[in-house]
Structure 1
Amino acid sequence: MDNTSWTRVSHFVLMGMSTQPEEQIPLFILFLLMYTINISGNFAITTLIISTPRLHTPMYIFLSNLALVDICFTSTTVPKMLQNIFSSTKTISYMGCLAQTYFFICFAAMENFLLAVMAYDRYIAICHPFRYPLILTRMLCLQMMAMCHVLSHLHALLHTSLMGRLIFCADNRIPHFFCDLYPLMKISCSSTHLNTLVIHTEGVIVINGALAFIMISYACIISVVFHSPSAKGKWKAFSTCGSHLTVVSIFYGTLTWVYFWPLTSYSVTRGRILTVMYTVVTPMLNPFIYSLRNEDIKGAFRKRMRRICTSFFK
Structure 2
Amino acid sequence: HIKLQLRHCKFSLLIMSLQNASIKVSEFVITVGVFILIVFIVAVLANTLNIFIIIYDKKLHKPMYLLICNLAVVDLLSTSSVSPTMIGVLVTGVKSISYVPCLIQMFTFHLGQVMETFALSVMALDRLIAVSCPFQYHSYLTNPRIVVLTYILWIVACAFVSFYPASVIPLRHCYSVLKYNFCSYAAVLRATCVDPNYYFNIVATIIFFLSFSTFSFICLSYFGIIYFVKLSSNNDRMKIGSTCLSHLIVVTCYYVPIFVIALLTRLGVVLTLEERNGLNIGSILIPSLVNPFVYCLRTKEIKNGIINMFTKVATSSGKV
TM-score (norm 1): 0.86
Cα distance between partner residues in 1 of 2:43 and 2:279: 18
Worse-superposed segment, 74-83 or 191-200: 191-200
- The residue aligned with 2:154 is 149
Structure 1 pair 41–190 and aligned structure 2 pair: CA distance change class (3 A) = same
The answer to whether the 8 A contact 1:250-1:282 is kept is yes
Q: Structure 2: state its 5+ residue gaps.
A: 1-23
Q: 1:238 aligns with which of 233, 236, 241?
A: 241
Cα distance between partner residues in 2 of 1:163 and 1:270: 25
- The residue aligned with 1:162 is 167
- The residue aligned with 1:13 is none
Cα distance between partner residues in 2 of 1:226 and 1:88: 56
> Offset of 1:94 from its aligned partner?
2.4
Cα distance between partner residues in 1 of 2:262 and 2:286: 18
The answer to whether the 8 A contact 2:179-2:187 is kept is yes
> Offset of 1:217 from its aligned partner?
0.7
Worse-superposed segment, 66-75 or 265-274: 265-274
Worse-superposed segment, 179-188 or 269-278: 179-188
- The residue aligned with 1:10 is none
The answer to whether the 8 A contact 1:250-1:277 is kept is no
- The residue aligned with 1:103 is 108
Structure 1 pair 88–118 and aligned structure 2 pair: CA distance change class (3 A) = closer
Cα distance between partner residues in 1 of 2:93 and 2:50: 37
> Offset of 1:205 from its aligned partner?
1.0
**Residue identity matched to 1:297:** I
Cα distance between partner residues in 1 of 2:234 and 2:170: 55
More helix by share: 2
The answer to whether the 8 A contact 1:49-1:60 is kept is yes
TM-score (norm 2): 0.84
Cα distance between partner residues in 2 of 1:255 and 1:308: 41
Q: Structure 1: state its 5+ residue gaps.
A: 1-18
RMSD between aligned residues: 2.2
- The residue aligned with 1:300 is 305
Cα distance between partner residues in 1 of 2:122 and 2:291: 16
> Offset of 1:276 from its aligned partner?
1.3
1:280 aligns with 2:285: yes
Alignment of 1:1-314 (within 5 A): 20-87=25-92, 90-169=95-174, 171-228=175-232, 230-258=233-261, 261=265, 265=270, 267-314=272-319
Q: Which has the larger radius of gyration?
A: 2
> Offset of 1:96 from its aligned partner?
2.2
Report sequence identity in percent.
28
Cα distance between partner residues in 2 of 1:299 and 1:226: 31
Deviations 1:148-195 (Å, cap 9, x if unpaired)?
1101111110122223344431x4322221012333344443122331
Deviations 1:247-279 (Å, cap 9, x if unpaired)?
111211212333674799564222211111221
- The residue aligned with 1:6 is none
> Offset of 1:25 from its aligned partner?
2.8
Cα distance between partner residues in 2 of 1:209 and 1:281: 22
